[in-house]
Amino acid sequence: MTAPTPATAPATAPLTGLRVLDLATLFAGPLAATMLGDFGAEVIKVEHPHRPDPSRGHGPAKDGVGLWWKLLGRNKRTMTLDLSTRGGRDILLALAAESDVIIENFRPGTLEKWNLGWNELSAANPRLVLARVTGFGQFGPYSHRPGFGTLAEAMSGFAVITGEPDGPPTLPPFGLADSIAALSTAYAVMTALAGRDRTGRGQVVDLAIIEPILMAIGPHPIWYDQLGYVQPRTGNRSSNNAPRNTYRTADGRWLAVSTSAQSVAERVMQLVGRPELIDEPWFATGTGRAAHADVLDEAVGGWIAAHGRDEVITAFEKAEAAVAPVYDIRDVMADPQYRALDTVTEVQDDELGPLRMQNVLFRLSETPGAIRWAGRPHGADTEEILTGLGLSGPEISRLREGGAL
């Protein structure tokens, strides 16, 4: 297998020349590193010699190769290193001296226990940015607890407002909080790097997974602070506007309708043959319509139930009203808009051959990102990376014998 090198990053990629050490596991921290690698950063994935990132074993595998890792590990070189050993510590400090960013998600105090805390890392490289991604942050009464995205989804207020009114709080069937935290971490890292450009000094990013998802749910804190208002579970309905729901078509398909704008709500009523509802006093505001969601759902749902999916979509588009089909992944892969955007793109992989995965997150007109390779095997680039640090073959062998690799 040919080892990819940083030189394979496009010269125009905006983060070319930036080196990131990914010490994190599972999703929030590693996904943030993936996002940086997508735009040219050289990302080195550092894993324990005997306990690789658990994401390698999450979900379905093909020929013994974890497919989730192919996405999460893309654009990363991989090496093994036991940070709890003296040799591992020395190698990490040497890597830190030549890096711009470290992303880690150990419990607070773990790096310090290994004499690899901020004091030691910043002494090795005063320009280093250390992103610390944990469930609850670096301080406070819960900081010592193990934290996962599921706990953040529960504690943020997300789960309690998700689900049907007469059902239980509902957790998402994917890493929602971790994904939001990953986006936030990538943003935080770039903000810290911008600060470094001004001051010449690196700094610590303290990101608690419970916080970004709380920001994502919107104005709930200020609603409660000012009005004592606690949003209930409303299923697919909204407490801010109506009609807003999923509706089943005559051919058994599902469509989502949203009417956040007043003009759209009026066009939907015209379309479904209930224009008299527009003249109701309560129809003039989103909250007023939400209070009469039963009436509006009956009107919209009844009309949609009498027509096929394609007919409904065509009619809504002609009326300039907002509608979308409810997709599963098969629909996503076949959708012409996703295809036009190349949202799911093909990547050539040394282990599995051609495979399809999500493309880079956004398009830049002058300095685009790229997927250079999919996730690589555990420790595949260890020797190359250590040789790049100037270590000789015998020195690498001694590190292996000492358990550092």
- Count up the domains in the chain and report the number: 2
Residues 179 and 297 in one domain: no
Q: Which of 295, 311, 333 is the last residue of a domain?
A: 333
Torsions phi, psi of 240, nearest 5? -110, -20
Residues 104 and 59 in one domain: yes
Q: What CATH number is attached to the domain comprising 286?
A: 3.30.1540.10
For residues 54 and 373, give the distance between their C-alpha atoms in angstroms, rounded to a whole number. 20
The side-by-side arrangement of strands in the sheet containing 76-80 is 76-80, 42-47, 19-22, 101-104, 129-134, 204-208
Residues 35 and 133 in one domain: yes
Q: Is 319 a member of any domain?
A: yes
Q: What CATH number is attached to the domain comprising 91?
A: 3.40.50.10540
Contact in structure between 347 and 373 (CB atoms under 8 Å): yes
Residues 79 and 180 in one domain: yes
Q: Is 322 a member of any domain?
A: yes
- pLDDT of 9 reads 63
- pLDDT of 10 reads 66
- CA 233 from centroid of its chain's CA atoms: 25
Residue span of the structural domain in which 310 resides: 245-333
Q: Is 106 a member of any domain?
A: yes
Q: Which residues are annotated as catalytic?
A: 178
Residues 262 and 383 in one domain: no
Residues 259 and 279 in one domain: yes
Q: Is 87 a member of any domain?
A: yes
Tokens standing for residue 298: 């009956």
For residues 17 and 19, give the distance between their C-alpha atoms in angstroms, rounded to a whole number. 6
Residues 301 and 212 in one domain: no
Q: Which of 306, 333, 360 is the last residue of a domain?
A: 333
Residues 69 and 194 in one domain: yes
Q: Is 251 a member of any domain?
A: yes
Residues 328 and 347 in one domain: no
Residues 171 and 312 in one domain: no
- pLDDT of 8 reads 53
| DSSP structural state of residue 6 | G
Q: Is 221 a member of any domain?
A: no
3-state secondary structure of 103: strand
For residues 251 and 305, give the distance between their C-alpha atoms in angstroms, rounded to a whole number. 8
Q: Is 349 a member of any domain?
A: yes
Which helix (H) or strand (E) segment is 310 a member of? Answer: helix 309-318
Q: Is 240 a member of any domain?
A: no
3-state secondary structure of 354: strand
Instruction: Report residues of the chain scoring pLDDT below 50.
Output: 1-7
Q: Which of 333, 364, 381 is the last residue of a domain?
A: 333
